[in-house]
Chain A
């Protein structure tokens, strides 16, 4: 594992975070609802892509760059939890519960679907 790989992890991780910000903003402003749809869209699409990468069975360094760095930085756990917690502060308990359950259910299904697709390629 050389310095070039780690520089790549940083460059790709920074880019993945910017793409997340743009995609979240685009979906959230188009949806315009209480439900945090932007984060859900980012996380579920990221789960499909990471599933696909897993299915491709890449080499170790390729998997680190494409999976851990790119897709890992594109998706976010912390914002998902922040939005859920803030919904409960606003007494939107039902929406908060739906956000947790739907994200997990769609996330696992998306990862499974992506892996299936990846294995076909």
Chain B
């Protein structure tokens, strides 16, 4: 869910083409035309948010190591927590606050994106399947999706209710 960057303050479009491998001529030109302008401040905000989100997730995973056949609470907690925060930030920034060029990348793409993880969840499910823990694997996948979805829904509803009340 990347939103278009403000047209100003972007890198010159050649900035991206310079990274295209030689011989990828046609693809390179096509990518350059299609790629939204990359804003340095936006990228810096994503980097900072992503660094903090990843630190929190890694610290939790290191503090509570789990064997493969028990419920992976650290991953589950960061994923559902990040979904709630992302629902809150995105709804608030898109529907309440004035447009800002760095809040969404810092808090949404960076912090929540770095805090949550899809790949770890998939490998955890794979290891549950290895151990023939079918119920655990299905329950973990279903509960993650259900709780993640509900967290976004709840956070969005909270932001929207406050807006209505404030009027």
Q: Are B126 and A108 in contact (CB under 8 A)?
A: yes
Q: Are B35 and A76 in contact (CB under 8 A)?
A: no
Where chain B touches its partner, the secondary structure class is helix
Task: Indicate which residue in B47, B53, B119, B122 contacts A15 across the interface (CB closer than 8 Å).
Answer: B47
Q: Are A78 and B122 in contact (CB under 8 A)?
A: no
Task: Indicate which residue in A17, A36, A80 contacts B49 across the interface (CB closer than 8 Å).
Answer: A17
B134 at the interface (CB under 8 A from A): no
B43 at the interface (CB under 8 A from A): yes
Where chain A touches its partner, the secondary structure class is helix
In residues 10-60 of chain B, which contact A (Cβ within 8 Å)?
30-31, 34-36, 38, 43, 46-55, 57-59
Q: Chain A interface: which size bin?
A: 35 or more
What number of residue pairs across chains A and B have CB atoms under 8 A from each other? 201
Q: Are A13 and B62 in contact (CB under 8 A)?
A: no
Q: Are B58 and A18 in contact (CB under 8 A)?
A: no
Q: Cβ of A69: which chain B residues have Cβ within 8 Å of it?
A: 54, 58
Task: Indicate which residue in B35, B53, B105, B148 contacts A81 across the interface (CB closer than 8 Å).
Answer: B148
Q: Are B61 and A81 in contact (CB under 8 A)?
A: no
Residues A78 and B116 in contact in the complex (CB < 8 Å), given A11-B51, A84-B149: yes
Q: Which residue of B lies closest to A32 (CB)?
A: B34
| A16 to B53 CA separation, bound complex (whole angstroms) | 11
Least CB distance from B144 to A in Å reads 7
| A94 to B153 CA separation, bound complex (whole angstroms) | 18
B111-141 interface bits toward A, Cβ cutoff 8 Å, 1 = contact, 0 = none:
0111111111111011001000000000001
Task: Indicate which residue in A21, A38, A78, A112 contacts B79 across the interface (CB closer than 8 Å).
Answer: A78
Q: A14-B110, A46-B118, A50-B122 are in contact. List 19 more A-B contacts (CB 8 A).
A: A9-B54, A17-B53, A17-B109, A17-B113, A20-B113, A29-B34, A47-B122, A69-B54, A72-B57, A75-B118, A79-B112, A82-B83, A82-B86, A84-B152, A85-B156, A104-B122, A107-B118, A107-B122, A111-B122
Interface residues of chain B, those whose CB is within 8 Å of chain A, are 1-2, 30-31, 34-36, 38, 43, 46-55, 57-59, 61-62, 79, 82-83, 85-87, 90, 105, 108-110, 112-123, 125-126, 129, 141, 144-145, 148-149, 151-153, 156
Q: Name the 9 nearest CB pairs between A and B, nearest first.
A: A13-B54, A17-B50, A14-B51, A81-B148, A14-B47, A77-B116, A75-B118, A50-B119, A10-B51
